[in-house]
Chain A
Amino acid sequence: MPSSIPASATARRARRLLATPATVGGAGLLVAILLVGALAPWLAGRDPSEQDLSSFLQPPSRESWLGTDDLGRDLRSRVVVAARADVLLVALGIGLALALALPLGLLAGYFRGPLDRAVTALSDAVLTFPSLVLAVVLVSLFGAGLAGVVAAVSLTTAPALFRLIRGLVLQTAALDFVDAARALGAGHGGILARHVVPGILGRGIVYTTLLGSHALLTVTALGFLGLGIQPPAPEWGNMLAQARTYLATAPWLVAAPALAIVAFVLGINLLGEALRDLLDPKLLWRP
């Protein structure tokens, strides 16, 4: 074996695009938030709902790094526990959207026909709603709280995800090796599982991850409007709603949840910049 295999042009291009401070920083922010969410019980320190009415609305200090809220609850433990709630809600919402969009996108993109037309029409109908308006309508149907938020995130994400997967499948299914597999006698199931799915996997995972920022904005906006996860359970959006009440007396209530949200979304945005350039070099401008 030669000690160093010459890197392909693609690999070199990937390294050039990904090894920038912005991309590495973005990935770092995202990983940090995910780690905080995963390790929440160990990082929280105090119980996030433990009240200490002798020290309410205290500015950041040695005892509580980020200060305390109106009930004397420690903001550090609240923002850490909220990280777990927000990350889980995003994951749950996108997971459910994927469970809807992946099979439908595969079938619609591969077989076309009436199913494709029906599902495309349905997803276009859903897309005539401004995303957040649809989210609010769904919450009014499912009720504020976990079910409403997950329904809102997944159903506002699913149409975009369906379109994306369908488009990738259309591209992949038109490639020569799929024709070759068919000529060799492979069945539809085999072609889908062995050729189409691996073909869309990389781009699909990247774009799905990028939808995470949209999902988080929905979760936190609903929380902020009082339609998401209900207090006393901490969630970044409802923490900001609480901070609004005490803006004049305790401005530090804003800092922790605000920085957490910005870190998550900025992480995805920075990472997305480079990944999109990598995956679709023709795309010169993008949202």
Chain B
Amino acid sequence: MPGDPAALIAGPGATQAQIDRLRGELGLDAPLGVQYLAFLRDLLRGDLGPSLSFGRPVAVVVATRIAPTLALMATSIALTLVLAVPAGILAAVRPLAGTSQTVMAATILLLSVPNFLVGLLLMDLLVVRLGWLPAAGTGGLAFLVMPTLAIAARLVALVCRTTRASVVEVLGEDFVRTARAKGLGGLGVLFRHALRPALVPIVTMVGLQAGYLLGGSVVVETLFAYQGLGQAMINAVAMRDYFLVQGIALVYVVGFLLLNLAVDLSYALVDPRIRYG
């Protein structure tokens, strides 16, 4: 492990004896197993250790940083669904139309641009050239626009492709033919019968991308100096603030598991044949 945390806290002028004493106080001299048990014990008490770079408990840093990140995740998912699902339906219903083919080609390109590059290009366009938005920071909605777009770009492309494939498949099913046979028009079939079963793969895709969504927050928050968990984590790595890195990583893992749980539970909402309990 590069950089002894005790030596870092003690500062450059500290003597070896001072560093050793500090290491003892922090419990860093205990065997790894003992340190891990102590970590679990403290975790149950809600104690994630001290953040050396913020000079506050890690739990407090997490508490102040979590809301901006949650807001970013929420806007990214919302934007994805609002944009991608209609575009995917359009591409499925009118597969040969020029717009549909353009949309599908655009998604492949969008999937090949990493989120930090999307963010950089947005910054170039919206801040440097047009001057419409503040470059970086946290606060009102204006600060959420670019990070949301940067994270959502890839998700929009993926969900759009998934929606198209899924709707195309459902439109070929027998019950859709039956609905048509009893005289229901195109839009009626689509919204009354086809859309709901088609949502299952879409929800799955959102769940599969939960990891990307959370990881994306780390990169994009850093790019836009957005004061969320991800940006705090990168700062913590640079400052060798191991307690904070560990605490935030733990929050991300829990968030990842909760997102996956939410996706699993929402299957029951989307598809009435699926029930839990």
Tell yes or no: B234 within 8 A of A by CB: yes
Given known A225-B222, A247-B128, contact A284–B114 (CB-CB < 8 A): no
Q: Which residue, of B127, B219, B240, has the highest number of chain A Cβ atoms within 10 A?
A: B219
- Determine if B120 and A128 form an interchain contact, defined as CB atoms under 8 angstroms apart: no
Tell yes or no: A150 within 8 A of B by CB: no
Q: How many A-B residue pairs have CB under 8 A?
A: 126
> Restricting to B139-180, which residues have a CB under 8 Å from any CB of A?
158, 161-162, 165-166, 169
The smallest C-beta distance from B67 to any residue of chain A, in angstroms, reads 19
Binary CB contact string for chain A from 153 to 165 against chain B (1 if under 8 A, 0 otherwise): 0000000000000
Please indicate the chain B residues that have their CB under 8 angstroms from the CB of A217 in the complex: 114
- Determine if A130 and B219 form an interchain contact, defined as CB atoms under 8 angstroms apart: no
- Determine if A130 and B257 form an interchain contact, defined as CB atoms under 8 angstroms apart: no
Tell yes or no: B83 within 8 A of A by CB: no
Binary CB contact string for chain A from 194 to 234 against chain B (1 if under 8 A, 0 otherwise): 00000000000000000001000100110011110000000
Q: Which of A97-105, A109-117, A134-142, A184-192 contacts B (4 or more CB under 8 A)?
A: A134-142
How distant is the Cα of A244 from the Cα of B158 in the complex, in angstroms?
27
Please indicate the chain A residues that have their CB under 8 angstroms from the CB of B2 in the complex: 142-143
How distant is the Cα of A141 from the Cα of B246 in the complex, in angstroms?
11
- Determine if B165 and A247 form an interchain contact, defined as CB atoms under 8 angstroms apart: no
Q: Which residue, of B117, B162, B210, B257, has the highest number of chain A Cβ atoms within 10 A?
A: B117
How distant is the Cα of A141 from the Cα of B233 in the complex, in angstroms?
13
The smallest C-beta distance from A281 to any residue of chain B, in angstroms, reads 14
Tell yes or no: B48 within 8 A of A by CB: no
The smallest C-beta distance from B110 to any residue of chain A, in angstroms, reads 10
The smallest C-beta distance from B237 to any residue of chain A, in angstroms, reads 4
Please indicate the chain B residues that have their CB under 8 angstroms from the CB of A266 in the complex: 108-109, 112
> Restricting to A253-287, which residues have a CB under 8 Å from any CB of B?
254, 258, 261-262, 265-266, 269-270, 273, 284-285, 287
Tell yes or no: B123 within 8 A of A by CB: yes
Please indicate the chain A residues that have their CB under 8 angstroms from the CB of B267 in the complex: none
- Determine if A224 and B116 form an interchain contact, defined as CB atoms under 8 angstroms apart: yes
- Determine if B237 and A262 form an interchain contact, defined as CB atoms under 8 angstroms apart: no
Please indicate the chain A residues that have their CB under 8 angstroms from the CB of B123 in the complex: 244, 247
Please indicate the chain B residues that have their CB under 8 angstroms from the CB of A137 in the complex: 245-246, 249
The smallest C-beta distance from A218 to any residue of chain B, in angstroms, reads 9
Q: Which of A227, A262, A287 contacts B117 (CB 8 A)?
A: A262
Interface class of chain B by DSSP:
helix
Given known A141-B1, A247-B123, A270-B108, contact A128–B249 (CB-CB < 8 A): no
- Determine if B237 and A269 form an interchain contact, defined as CB atoms under 8 angstroms apart: no
> Restricting to B201-256, which residues have a CB under 8 Å from any CB of A?
201, 205, 208-216, 218-219, 222-223, 233-234, 236-238, 240, 242, 245-246, 249, 252-253, 256
How distant is the Cα of A136 from the Cα of B208 in the complex, in angstroms?
20
Tell yes or no: B121 within 8 A of A by CB: yes
Instruction: Name the CB-closest residue of B to A29.
Output: B112
Interface size class of B (residues with CB under 8 A): 35 or more
Please indicate the chain A residues that have their CB under 8 angstroms from the CB of B201 in the complex: 285
Tell yes or no: A81 within 8 A of B by CB: no
Q: Which of B120, B210, B242 contacts A240 (CB 8 A)?
A: B120
Q: Which of A128, A220, A237 contacts B257 (CB 8 A)?
A: A128
Given known A254-B120, A254-B124, contact A132–B218 (CB-CB < 8 A): yes
The smallest C-beta distance from B238 to any residue of chain A, in angstroms, reads 7
The smallest C-beta distance from B257 to any residue of chain A, in angstroms, reads 6
- Determine if A133 and B249 form an interchain contact, defined as CB atoms under 8 angstroms apart: yes
Instruction: Name the CB-closest residue of B to A254.
Output: B120
Q: Which of B127, B234, B252 contacts A130 (CB 8 A)?
A: B252
Given known A226-B238, A261-B114, contact A284–B208 (CB-CB < 8 A): no
Tell yes or no: A45 within 8 A of B by CB: no
Instruction: Name the CB-closest residue of A to B245.
Output: A140
- Determine if A227 and B208 form an interchain contact, defined as CB atoms under 8 angstroms apart: no
- Determine if B165 and A285 form an interchain contact, defined as CB atoms under 8 angstroms apart: yes
Q: Which of B211, B236, B257 contacts A131 (CB 8 A)?
A: B211
- Determine if B211 and A130 form an interchain contact, defined as CB atoms under 8 angstroms apart: yes
- Determine if A221 and B114 form an interchain contact, defined as CB atoms under 8 angstroms apart: yes
- Determine if B120 and A247 form an interchain contact, defined as CB atoms under 8 angstroms apart: yes
Binary CB contact string for chain A from 34 to 70 against chain B (1 if under 8 A, 0 otherwise): 0000000000000000000000000000000000000
Residues in chain B within 8 A of chain A (CB atoms): 1-2, 108-109, 111-114, 116-117, 120-121, 123-124, 127-128, 158, 161-162, 165-166, 169, 201, 205, 208-216, 218-219, 222-223, 233-234, 236-238, 240, 242, 245-246, 249, 252-253, 256-257
6 contacts between A and B (CB under 8 A): A135-B215, A217-B114, A221-B116, A225-B222, A258-B120, A265-B113
**Known contacts A128-B256, A133-B214, A240-B116; can you find 19 more A-B pairs with CB under 8 A?**
A128-B253, A129-B256, A130-B210, A132-B215, A132-B216, A140-B245, A220-B116, A224-B223, A240-B117, A247-B124, A251-B124, A254-B121, A258-B121, A261-B117, A265-B111, A284-B169, A285-B161, A285-B169, A285-B201
